[in-house]
Copies of this chain bind each other. A is one copy, B any other.
Amino acid sequence: MANPHQIPSYLKQETLGPWGVYLEQIDRVTPYLGNLARWVETLKRPKRILVVDVPIERDDGSIAHFEGYRVQHNTSRGPGKGGVRFHQDVTLSEVMALSAWMTVKNAAVNVPYGGAKGGIRVDPKTLSQGELQRMTRRYISEINIIIGPNKDIPAPDVNTNEQIMVWMMDTYSMNQGSTASGVVTGKPISLGGSLGRHEATGRGVFVVGCEAASRIGLDIKGARVAVQGFGNVGAIAARLFSEAGVRIVAVQDHAGTIMRPSGLDVAALQAHVAATGSVVGFPGGEEISDREQFWGVECDILVPAALEQQIDEKTPGRFAQS
């Protein structure tokens, strides 16, 4: 439980959410920090939280309002860096925690960036393309006082794809009066995006998985991998593992779970998902109706590539049983 006096007044004990998880993580590592422990209090407070009202005109002429966030947790090491999430469950607590984790991740790999994160509390599936564009543009207009190539650089996250990053870049550029490709990452390559960016997160999962296997003496060829989430991260990791000779024994997405002990055909599964929207109904595997069963699948490597907070203290127990 996080230390009560460090809980911000706008997040009560009972609603701490992901930020509470982060605070506990910090408390857990503090004893090992030695002299650096004096920075713990700083890490427990985001430098800057901006909450904005994002009003748009719906296609039917009515006005809708959305809560928009941009949190810069720490920029001591360089400009803020972190994605923007469009999701109906986005909360300030979640954005705060994700921004803090960006601080930690960027420092861990020693890139000169601080940690930041943004989001809009909206289910983008309820918006038309025009509404989505207007909401994205208004959001950037509202937060553009704190972003920029030398200040804070948004990236794609859940439900924000290349098209949305282009709208962000164009809005910022229009406001500046000149093209600013450096204001966002995750752009299309033709507008200055990075080669390999699309696959980067999934490839990172694959590389780390192989390294971890190597350390524990697990031969990756023939090893069994279970993947939760089959979006940009999970699907690409699955494909790369598969190409390396790994068996993908289970895949779960928002709609269902599909298993095949001898290994799924990932390319075929990707084509199925592209065509139908989910893994449900994939003919090349066995569909499981109880989502919890996924956690009991026999595997050597588990890839959690869905949203956060899927794993809790009971998850390892389930694996132990299997």
Contact = CB atoms under 8 A, between A and B. Distances in A.
Given A9-B121, A141-B174, A179 B91 contact: no
A68 B67 CA distance: 20
Interface stretch (A52-60, A197-205, A283-291, A301-309): A52-60
A49 B47 contact: no
A208 interface: no
Interface stretch (A37-45, A230-238, A273-281): A37-45
Contacts of A174: 138, 141-142, 175
B152 A76 contact: no
Nearest to A180: B150
A190 B178 CA distance: 29
User: Contact size class for A?
Assistant: 35 or more
Interface in A131-154: 133, 138, 141-142, 144-146, 148, 150-152
Contact of A50 (B49, B61, B67): B49
Contacts of A90: 9
A33 interface: no
A112 B194 CA distance: 13
A12 B10 contact: no
Given A12-B12, A50-B48, A65-B45, A144 B178 contact: no
A177 interface: yes
A165 to B, nearest CB: 14
A55 B144 CA distance: 22
A126 interface: no
A144 B114 CA distance: 21
A254 interface: no
Contacts of A67: 8-10, 45
Contacts of A180: 150
Interface in A69-98: 75-79, 90-93
Contacts of A148: 178
A51 B48 contact: yes
A3 interface: no
Contact of A175 (B38, B65, B129, B141): B141
A48 B55 contact: no
A158 interface: no
Contacts of A46: 51, 53
A192 interface: yes
Contacts of A59: 130
A52 B49 contact: yes
Contact of A178 (B11, B51, B152): B152
Given A15-B12, A52-B49, A53-B47, A179 B130 contact: no
A63 interface: yes
A191 interface: yes
Given A53-B47, A67-B8, A192-B112, A79 B179 contact: yes
19 contacts: A8-B67, A9-B67, A15-B15, A41-B65, A42-B53, A42-B65, A46-B53, A48-B51, A49-B49, A50-B51, A51-B51, A57-B130, A59-B130, A75-B178, A75-B179, A77-B191, A114-B179, A145-B146, A150-B178
